[in-house]
Structure 1
Amino acid sequence: MEPFKNLINRDTVARTGQHLRRAWPRFDHKRFAAQAATGLEDLEFKARAMQLADALEATLPADFNAACEVLETSLAPALAIDAQGEPMKLGEAADTGVAGWALWAVGEFVARRGVLDAAAAQRGLACLHAITQRFTAEFAIRPIIQKHPALSFDTLSQWLNDPSAHVRRLVSEGSRPRLPWGLRLQSLVVDPTPTLPLLRALQDDSSSYVRRSVANHLNDIAKDHPDLVAGWVRDHLIDAPDARSALLRHASRGLIKQGHAPTMAAWGLASGLKGDASLTLSAPRASVGGDMGLRVRLRSTARQPQLLVVDYAVHHVRANGSASPKVFKGWKLTLAPGEERMLEKRHSLKPVTTRTLYPGTHVIDLRVNGVALAEAAFELRA
């Protein structure tokens, strides 16, 4: 598989330089290419993007407004949105203008200049409005939000009715408190209130692309303000159309895994299982890179149907010998009165970039509507 870092390469540099020169004939594309491509193969992905941004700073006009005009003129056409409200696949658009991963560097340049004062922030936001329709500006907008929050939120409010789903998504995605890979907006981690009117306006957006961002934004907020999100779900589930219900379910996923009582109650999952549950594993031992089979038995003693969310937590052994639980989604089902149900699943033990698997005894506990009801253990070998 091609290394991820190679998404930005010497061809990326050459194409970007060509399009910038087309937009501004005085652009020193040779100097840009020399600075952007020097030692590029030795750099990881983010460092490559930052080096391209450095080269843009060295070669674009010193006047920020003029630099933004060059960048906007150099851009490829906006990415189309399909009938389901999803963006078409990202491409490099070699013949039509700057596009694809080069725009990470372009956004970084705009962010660096856009934080300098209010006028620069306003001009930078206008440029990001164009960039996000070709790639994404969710990372680039965050330093401007942090430095100029009032101006930024006024602009985001104006974008709520923008005809572009890319721009409307940026309203939500760019202001997420804990965006992965992005600058943490600590003031919004502490108090997410400024974003709530934006999310309220976008949660019934016609684009699934936008609604998914709103769900992820609410899930971010839930990490620090779980009761706020539980209340949001409770209030906005009333007479909710199917699309909003799906959004709220996705927004609740972390809290449901945790068994957060107000969230469980909002979804009608406040009651624990009336009956009994057991968990057995397919083998007493497994190796890193393999998998483990889970077999769950549920038996109802209730006189009414029971709506159940059945998840499981794997207590991964850490390097120091302690254990850290990670909850995995299992099943959502309705258990009929007196019914006995068997559920089976294979749990992968392949290493992933976000988690190292260490040998040792791993406990798995079964959680029904957030309550741990059974457990089993296996020995993981290297």
Structure 2
Amino acid sequence: MPTDPSERFSLKDHLFNAERVGYLSDLLSGGIPGFHAKRFVDDVMASMLDLELTQRVEHIAAVLGQYLDSDFTVAAVQIEASLPPPLDLTLTDDDFGDFIIAPFGQYVVDRGLAPEHLDVSLLLIRSITKRFSMERTIRAFLNEYPTETMAKLEEWCTDENYHVRRLVSEGTRPLLPWAPRVGLDVEEPINLLDQLHADPTRYVTRSVANHLNDIAKSRPELVVETLQRWRSLGKQDDAELRWMESHALRTLVKQGHQGALELLGFVASPQIALTPIEFVGTTVAINSSVEFSFDISADTEVRLLVDYEIAFPTATGRTRTKVFKLKQLELAAGETVTVRKRHPLRGNASTFTLHPGTHTIAVQVNGTKYREADFTLTE
């Protein structure tokens, strides 16, 4: 691992650099007769390296605006002619494409977000998303023209290209990472998800499940009811629907939501007994691991979902809790199983900073806490 900050991996430099800008320029040269490729690269690179990732997208789009036709309808044709081939449709769980295509989407927002350009813009978004996901771009149109954009998304639910179908779900997600919020009520896209939940492509169904997981953070009952309805419809393959349910309910399961657990086949308050948590050592150092174990015994045959929660002290003296997955078990009547876990305590974790002091581990089974015990973390 590099220790010098200057040697650390830079996502913005990996995605947007002179080589990638040169590739974009080559695309534009192939689609626009007389395009000034070298001058375009020079103009982009003149100030791009001083910018952050999102700013680089915006900057390239702004420079692009100086080279495309001032008439947006004509510029849309130029962009269409410059696009690379669509992503490989034989890869049914493909990634969302090459980031250097993102400035095309930003250009559509900058120049095409107007009523007179709406139809052309949406068609262009459909074309671009076959090369790079336009999940951020479509959100600007959902916020500005929700009725018209939702109607277009309704059409795209049955599009032959699964990247377009995925955009319907991903673009309307309430909590899409690194994206502006949309002004839709969380219930509004449900009719779109109803159509997409039976999609044959994992890339689409993963987005649908992630979309439901977003909704679960504010409307858990709506998510459980929606999944119950999909199960009753029987339109999706059983194994795929079970995967979607597990993925969509992951936040609710960690919270011990009984409706979510029951849908997944885990009964509330199972007839089990847990022994006290035992540590290999109750004092551990940052950048080492805490090791613990316990026994679970069942009176009757039962399926168990075992998680553990750690309460971490913060710099302000409060505690922050986080639930971690442990394992699923199927116990026979009278059976006892020993569960062991080694949890790393990394001092350089990107999510939050560890602080010395008393930490509490609690074992949660089918949403109910059964045992807890403390250990001490030292420098």
TM-score, normalised to structure 1, is 0.90
* Among 170, 191, 195, the residue aligned to 1:197: 191
Q: Which residue is 1:210 aligned to? A: 204
Partners of 1:52 and 1:318 in 2: CA distance:
41
**Aligned 1:168-247 pairs, distance under 5 A:** 168-185=165-182, 187-188=183-184, 191-238=185-232, 239=234, 241-247=238-244
Q: Which residue is 1:345 aligned to? A: 341
Q: 1:264 to 1:171 in 2, by over 3 A?
A: same
Identity %: 33
Q: Deviations over 1:326-380 (max 9, x none)?
A: 1111111212111111112222223333323233322121111111111122222
Asked if 2 retains the 8 angstrom alpha-carbon contact of 1:81 and 1:88, the reply is no
Partners of 2:124 and 2:349 in 1: CA distance:
36
Q: Which residue is 1:131 aligned to? A: 128
Q: Amino acid of the residue matched to residue 321 of structure 1?
A: G
Q: 1:15 to 1:275 in 2, by over 3 A?
A: closer
Q: Which residue is 2:16 aligned to? A: 8
Between 1:198-207 and 1:278-287, the stretch displaced more is 278-287
Deviation of residue 225 (structure 1)? Answer: 0.4
Q: Deviations over 1:19-44 (max 9, x none)?
A: 21321124344443233212333333
Partners of 1:182 and 1:211 in 2: CA distance:
20
What's the secondary structure of 2:90's corresponding residue?
coil
Partners of 1:77 and 1:281 in 2: CA distance:
56
Deviation of residue 198 (structure 1)? Answer: 0.9
Between 1:118-127 and 1:208-217, the stretch displaced more is 118-127
Q: Which residue is 1:113 aligned to? A: 111
Between 1:119-128 and 1:6-15, the stretch displaced more is 119-128
Between 1:286-295 and 1:156-165, the stretch displaced more is 286-295
Q: 1:260 to 1:16 in 2, by over 3 A?
A: same
**Pair 1:144-2:152 in alignment:** no
What's the secondary structure of 1:42's corresponding residue?
coil
Q: Which residue is 1:336 aligned to? A: 332
Deviation of residue 171 (structure 1)? Answer: 0.7
Between 1:135-144 and 1:14-23, the stretch displaced more is 14-23
Partners of 1:106 and 1:353 in 2: CA distance:
32
**Aligned 1:80-95 pairs, distance under 5 A:** 80-82=88-90, 85-87=92-94, 90=97
Q: 1:233 to 1:89 in 2, by over 3 A?
A: closer
**Aligned 1:256-267 pairs, distance under 5 A:** 256-267=253-264
Q: How many residues were matched structurally? A: 366
Q: Amino acid of the residue matched to residue 310 of structure 2?
A: V
Asked if 1 retains the 8 angstrom alpha-carbon contact of 2:196 and 2:205, the reply is yes
Partners of 1:119 and 1:173 in 2: CA distance:
26
Partners of 1:318 and 1:59 in 2: CA distance:
52
* Among 290, 304, 313, the residue aligned to 1:317: 313
Partners of 1:11 and 1:243 in 2: CA distance:
40
Partners of 2:266 and 2:157 in 1: CA distance:
34
Deviation of residue 296 (structure 1)? Answer: 3.0
Asked if 1 retains the 8 angstrom alpha-carbon contact of 2:44 and 2:63, the reply is yes
Partners of 1:317 and 1:5 in 2: CA distance:
33
Q: Amino acid of the residue matched to residue 38 of structure 1?
A: A
Q: Which residue is 1:65 aligned to? A: 73
Partners of 2:221 and 2:283 in 1: CA distance:
40
Structure 2 unaligned segments of length 5 or more: list them.
1-7
Q: Which residue is 1:94 aligned to? A: none
Between 1:269-278 and 1:241-250, the stretch displaced more is 269-278
Between 1:194-203 and 1:280-289, the stretch displaced more is 280-289
Partners of 2:68 and 2:285 in 1: CA distance:
54
Between 1:55-64 and 1:335-344, the stretch displaced more is 55-64
**RMSD value, Cα:** 2.0
Partners of 1:344 and 1:259 in 2: CA distance:
21
Partners of 1:140 and 1:358 in 2: CA distance:
40
Q: Which residue is 2:287 aligned to? A: 289
